[in-house]
Structure 1
Amino acid sequence: MSQVTLVVGAGAIGLLTSYKLAKAGLNVILLEAGATGQESSWAGGGIVSPLYPWRYSPAVTALAHWSQAFYPSFGEQLHQESGIDPEVHATGLYWLDLEDETDALSWAQALNRPLSSVSIDSVEAAVPSLRKNYFQHALYMPGVANIRNPRLLQSLRAALLKLPNVQLREQCPVTGFIHENHRITGVETAQGKVFSERVILAAGAWSGQLLATLGLKIPVKPMKGQMILFKCAADFLPVMVMTKERYAIPRRDGHILIGSTLEDVGFDKTTTSEAQTSLLNSAVELLPELANAQIIKHWAGLRPGSPEGIPYIGPVPEYEGLWLNCGHFRNGLVLAPASCQLLTELVLQQPTSIDPSPYTTAGRIEFC
């Protein structure tokens, strides 16, 4: 069993890391504390773009651009392999009344991204459900997709389970690492010890807690986000819209997601009436007809917050055999394909598709 790669955490990052490593021929055991894909990856909106891409560092932009180009064909591939359609839904995205519109347009011009200023009249014509005579300015980027993240997670899980060199162990929380002379040889779990050649930590908001058992400290912490869901006619909202840090995301069947809050409250996933009221007000500000629609679901998830949202991807110099793929903050689904591709290339010692230096763990980890 020593020639096994252990992946800790079966969210989007852990699932896709396992998938890519297994496709490359490695034997993989994926360990999940609860059920697959039930934390941050499930709780997010699934927009295949950072919410405000021009506000991020080039490190985040590089991963996002690679992933955006990858998702459409990958969605089709997963559908064929698993029988479950992740529903990559390219609708485009409107940003309304941005304070930093000039910065956004400058960013788009510098990086040759298809972002442009459009008239409010054209937005109101394209989105009949939008509040009329209210917004003043708009930017539009065509081709921006959203992915139905619960279905993506189901599809990835099903595709993984068809691979002969993958084991998935759910309800198997990792409690610590097995190590000798700063060499990681496996993990301690609620079901006993599991030995491996390497361990890849992809445990989202819980990654910092697990690293602390080794005396290591990274600034990855939980940041709660709450969302609400409506069910409308399939043609109610044909495109994604954003204003004042809030967004409306249409699914193909008429479900409309409104999100999200950003709360620094530790590992508390409790939903609150205050957040629901705030989200409902944002929904009605954008789409007045939602005032008469029933909220059919309200939930919360814990994002893995990190400085500037730059993830940790690569080996941990302090412990041979330990690797990280964590700290993606609000952009785990957006950045997952590129992050997992990069990690796989590093593990296999292949040329990398993306410069790995911004994501290195060296110099970004402290001893407790």
Structure 2
Amino acid sequence: MQGRSESNVLIVGGGIIGALSALFLAQSGLQVSLLDRRFMGQESSWAGGGIISPLYPWRYSSAVTALAGWSQGFYPDLGVSLERETGIDPQVHATGLYWLDLEDEALALAWAGREGRVLLQPGMAEVHKTLPVLGDGFAKALHMPGVANVRNPRLLKALRCALAQKANVTVHEGSEVTGFIQQGGRVCGVRTGQGELRAERVLLASGAWSGELLATLGLNLPVVPVKGQMILYKCAEDFLPAMVLAKGRYAIPRKDGHILIGSTLEHAGFDKTPTEVALASLKTSAQELLPALADAEVVGHWAGLRPGSPEGIPFIGEVPEYPGLWLNCGHYRNGLVLAPASCELLKNLMLGESPIVDPAPYAPAGRLG
């Protein structure tokens, strides 16, 4: 691909943010090239839990709340449209979510009141009736009906298939970007191990790796890798009817009875090696939440790298010091839930459309070192 200029937009990173950005821009008629250093969707997007809500939404700023709320409304239709186009069901699964023994319950209820969200206070007898496999020892609960989870590996598989069907999208896997090309005061392409690729605009959506690429331009993006480990059990399909969160750990039921337990928060650089210490800790949490899992087999254990950012507020927009270079990265723990709104906002800004939310909190201007 030496020196080719084939795209209106070149996207660096094939996770949920890069893939959904590519889909939205392609649906608007742009020619899109998407590059991934390995395979699409195999890093943080694959490794996450897929809860379509921040774990504790009341602990985030209005900037995160705005993106999450828009995305939550968008996900059901996204799942339907992707299954119709590709035959792959991303399994947007509305189960509701229970929080147990929250220390900041009053803040949660106040947030729900301000945001107009339904947040119930069921008694523990009612909770145990709904969730008979729940462990004893929990004193109080909050319940938000309707919260969904998405089966993220299937979501990424469906997006990959949808992009492959579009004549105006080209995907380059196994293509690691090593730097940016500048010409006439603008960023106009990237350098890769296979040569140069040029475009009118370059979008950086490389998650935890975005900071390394921006550093080649002398910019300091405050996005760092934060390791998260998870484990997976296989149970009966009706084992757990709702998501449960206690003491920072969660259980997520899939439609086929798989139960995800997560997650650790570790600052270990770019090391993704699963550890025995984390396995033991996650199993302890799992059995405290759902004692029957003591007799279940762990069928999966993996780690991923979240793109940690200040307050979890992503960077979305053009880099003023480098016209032609755009960012959509730094979503920290909420990449999957914030993705639809982040990518729609990115498209709005790129195409001069009316933005779905105020873009100011996410603008790179003044937030890069």
Q: Fold match, TM over 0.5? A: yes
The match for 2:9 is 5
Q: Does 1:354 align with 2:366?
A: no
Shift >4 Å, 4+ stretches: none
Paired residue secondary structure (2:89): coil
Give me the whole-angstrom Cα distance separating, in 2, the residues matched to 1:333 and 1:190.
Answer: 29
Q: 2:29 aligns with which of 4, 13, 25?
A: 25
**Aligned residue runs from structure 1 range 13-52, under 5 A:** 13-52=17-56
1:131 to 111, 135, 147: 135
Structure 1 segment 50-129 matched on structure 2, within 5 A: 50-129=54-133
Whole-Å Cα distance in 2 between the matches of residues 357 and 116 of structure 1?
A: 33
Amino acid of the residue matched to residue 93 of structure 2? Answer: H
Gaps of 5+ in 1: none
Distance 1:2 1:124 in 2: 58
Distance 1:352 1:294 in 2: 47
* Cα distance, 1:3–1:168 mapped onto 2, change above 3 Å: closer
Structure-2 residue corresponding to 1:327: 330
1:206 partnered with 2:206: no
Partner secondary structure for residue 265 of structure 1: coil
Q: Is 1:279 the equivalent of 2:286?
A: no
Q: Which amino acid aligns with 2:193?
A: A
Contact 2:7-2:32 within 8 A present in 1 as well: no
What secondary structure, in the 3-state scheme, does the structure 1 residue paired with 2:39 have?
coil
What is the aligned-residue RMSD (CA, Å)? Answer: 0.7
Distance 1:203 1:3 in 2: 19
**2:172 corresponds to 1:173:** no
Contact 1:31–1:170, Cα closer than 8 Å, also in 2: yes
CA distance in 1, matches of 2:61, 2:241: 30
Q: Secondary structure at the match of 1:113?
A: coil
Quote how far apart the aligned CAs of 1:12 are.
0.2
Measure, in 2, the Cα distance between the counterparts of 1:222 and 1:240.
26
Distance 2:39 2:188 in 1: 25
Q: Deviations over 1:117-158 (max 9, x none)?
A: 1111111000111013x1000000000000000000000010
Distance 1:332 1:325 in 2: 10
**Secondary structure of residue in 1 paired with 2:102:** coil
Q: Classify the secondary structure of the residue corresponding to 2:19.
A: helix
Equivalent residue number for residue 143 of structure 2? 140
**Matched AA of 1:4:** N
Distance (Å, rounded) in 2 between the aligned partners of 1:2 and 1:232: 48
Q: Does 1:217 align with 2:220?
A: yes
What's 1:151 paired with? 154
Q: Are 2:313 and 1:293 equivalent residues in the alignment? A: no
1:181 Cα deviation after fit: 5.0
- Give the match's secondary structure for 1:135: coil
Cα distance in 1 for partners of 2:257, 2:295 equals 15
Contact 1:82 1:158 in 2 (8 A): yes
Q: Secondary structure at the match of 2:121?
A: strand
The number of residues matched between the two structures is 365
Q: Aligned letter for 1:176? A: G
Specify the alignment match of 1:344 in structure 2. Answer: 347
Between the aligned partners of 1:318 and 1:150, the Cα distance in structure 2 is: 36
Q: In the alignment, does 2:263 pair up with 1:260? A: yes
Provide the secondary structure at the position in 2 that maps to 1:179.
Answer: strand
TM-score (norm 2): 0.98
Residue type of the alignment partner of 1:9: G
Superposed displacement of residue 185, structure 1: 1.0
Kindly indicate whether the alpha-carbon contact (under 8 Å) linking 1:2 and 1:197 is maintained by their aligned counterparts in 2.
no
- Give me the whole-angstrom Cα distance separating, in 1, the residues matched to 2:335 and 2:219: 23
- CA–CA separation in structure 2 for the residues paired with 1:128 and 1:139: 16
- d(CA) in 2 for partners of 1:182 and 1:243? 51
1:190 Cα shift?
1.1
Name the counterpart of 1:193.
196
Q: Secondary structure at the residue paired with 2:188?
A: strand
**Structure 1 residues 125 and 52, CA, compared in 2 at 3 Å: closer, same or farther?**
same
| Structure 2: runs of 5+ lacking an equivalent | none
- The one-letter code sitting in structure 2 at the alignment partner of 1:24 is S
CA deviation after TM superposition for structure 1 residue 2, in Å: 5.7
User: Whole-Å Cα distance in 2 between the matches of residues 66 and 178 of structure 1?
Assistant: 35
Shift of 1:4: 2.5
Percent identical among aligned pairs is 63
